[in-house]
């Protein structure tokens, strides 16, 4: 069995363990002194959560299983409040831990619950989706949604460890798996073009968990994120590059009432950012074209409705990357050469959107 361990450095270092059948690493990542474990799991992944809970009980932990709604419905204030109440009911102390099992929404919620309970308890995350493995579970960002926007309420709370068991990906619906692939492709554009080569070499294989390069694609994407967040946990500068494509993506998600797949929105957002950079004279036409070709080859969308622009533009104003009234975009000055575009003219913003409108 191939197991890859990636160390995320910083004030609170932790391991990301990637491989098949790695859930047995959980007690090690929980660390010494933990007695009570709250297993916060997506109600749709009981086939992963139950054996994990049984193993923890056998290892001597007091285990409390807490099921939460599937997907973005988990990241609601009332769900979070329910977790807090449950923690209080079973006397969870500062030396205990939360284990989050599920997709990115579940690990975001579980991480935020851990960050805010008694001002911070240990969290170990077990992502069961591709998006969760390569994006949400790594980096210490936690949060919930409110009607005004996605992830506007949250905290930086590095986990005690992350377990990426690739066998959990095998039952993912294809569209959900491909959605996660968008974040891997993003890592290729901002830092590791070898990812793009692997996807282009076999786009059909990249779009399925049984593909020949699955483990390498996951490892490469996690390494990109690990290197960035090791240097900049709290998005003071460098970490912003991980938001490539996300300014428009978050606006699309809000317009769709969070029923639009995150990776699909990011794919569209990356094409938009590429067009914006090209219009600003910073990116060549061939790199813009490569955005469209590599994303479309895996089945990801590269366009959005023409009539949506006014609402999307209004939503982008409150994007977390904005500073005051200045809108900021992560753009590319070439492959693996990310930069920032601050306060672009309205005409430029609209012209770029017209290029992705359908």
**Residues that are catalytic:** 119, 141, 183, 225, 235, 239, 243, 246, 250, 262
Q: What contacts 281, CB < 8 A, 6 or more positions away?
A: none
Element (H, E) at 270: helix 262-279
User: DSSP assignment, residue 102?
Assistant: E
Q: What contacts 124, CB < 8 A, 6 or more positions away?
A: 26, 29, 30, 97, 98, 99, 100, 159, 160, 161, 162, 163
Give DSSP secondary structure letters for 124-139: EEEE-SHHIIIIITSS
User: DSSP assignment, residue 301?
Assistant: -
Residue 246 among known ligand-binding residues: yes
Query: How many residues does the structure list for the chain?
Result: 358
Residue 270 among known ligand-binding residues: no
Residue 105 among known ligand-binding residues: yes
Residue 108 among known ligand-binding residues: yes
Residue 150 among known ligand-binding residues: yes
- Considering just the CA atoms, what is the radius of gyration of the chain in Å? 20
Residue 10 among known ligand-binding residues: no
Residue 208 among known ligand-binding residues: no
Q: Give SS3 for 343.
A: coil
Residue 141 among known ligand-binding residues: yes
The angle subtended at Cα 305 by Cα 274 and Cα 290, nearest 5°, is 25
Residue 64 among known ligand-binding residues: no
Residue 5 among known ligand-binding residues: no
Residue 169 among known ligand-binding residues: yes
Answer whether 21's CB lies under 8 Å from 1's CB: yes
Residues of the binding site: 104-108, 128-129, 141, 150, 168-171, 183, 246, 262
Residues of the binding site for NAD(+): 104-108, 128-129, 141, 150, 168-171
Residues of the binding site for Zn(2+): 183, 246, 262
């Amino acid at each position: 069995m191939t197991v890859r361990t990636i160390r995320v450095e910083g004030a609170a270092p932790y391991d990301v363990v990637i491989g098949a059948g790695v859930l047995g690493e959980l007690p090690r990542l929980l660390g010494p002194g933990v007695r009570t474990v709250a297993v916060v799991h997506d109600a749709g992944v009981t086939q992963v959560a139950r054996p994990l809970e049984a193993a923890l009980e056998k290892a001597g932990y007091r285990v409390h299983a807490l099921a939460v709604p599937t997907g973005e419905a988990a990241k609601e204030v009332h769900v979070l409040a329910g977790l807090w109440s449950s923690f209080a009911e079973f006397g969870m102390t500062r030396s205990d831990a939360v284990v989050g099992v599920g997709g990115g929404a579940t690990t975001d919620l579980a991480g935020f619950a851990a960050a805010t309970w008694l001002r911070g308890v240990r969290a170990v995350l077990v992502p069961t989706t591709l998006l969760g493995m390569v994006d949400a579970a790594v980096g210490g960002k936690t949060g919930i949604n409110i009607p005004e926007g996605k992830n506007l309420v949250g905290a930086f709370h590095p986990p005690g460890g992350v377990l990426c068991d690739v066998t959990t990906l095998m039952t993912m619906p294809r569209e959900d798996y491909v959605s996660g692939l968008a974040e891997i492709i993003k890592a290729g554009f901002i830092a590791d073009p070898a990812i793009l080569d692997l996807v282009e070499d076999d786009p059909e294989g990249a779009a399925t968990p049984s593909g020949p390069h699955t483990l390498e694609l996951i490892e490469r994407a996690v390494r990109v994120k690990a290197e960035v967040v090791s240097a900049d946990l709290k998005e003071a500068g460098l970490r912003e590059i991980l938001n490539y494509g996300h300014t428009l993506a978050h606006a699309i998600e809000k317009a769709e009432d969070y029923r639009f797949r995150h990776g699909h929105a990011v794919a569209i957002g990356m094409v938009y950012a590429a067009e914006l950079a090209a219009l600003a004279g910073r990116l060549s036409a061939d790199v813009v074209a490569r955005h469209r070709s590599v994303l479309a080859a895996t089945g990801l969308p590269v366009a959005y409705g023409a009539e949506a622009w006014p609402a999307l533009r209004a939503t982008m104003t409150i994007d977390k990357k904005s500073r005051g009234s200045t809108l900021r975009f992560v753009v590319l000055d070439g492959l693996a050469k990310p930069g920032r575009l601050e306060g672009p003219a309205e005409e430029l913003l609209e012209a770029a959107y017209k290029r992705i409108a359908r």
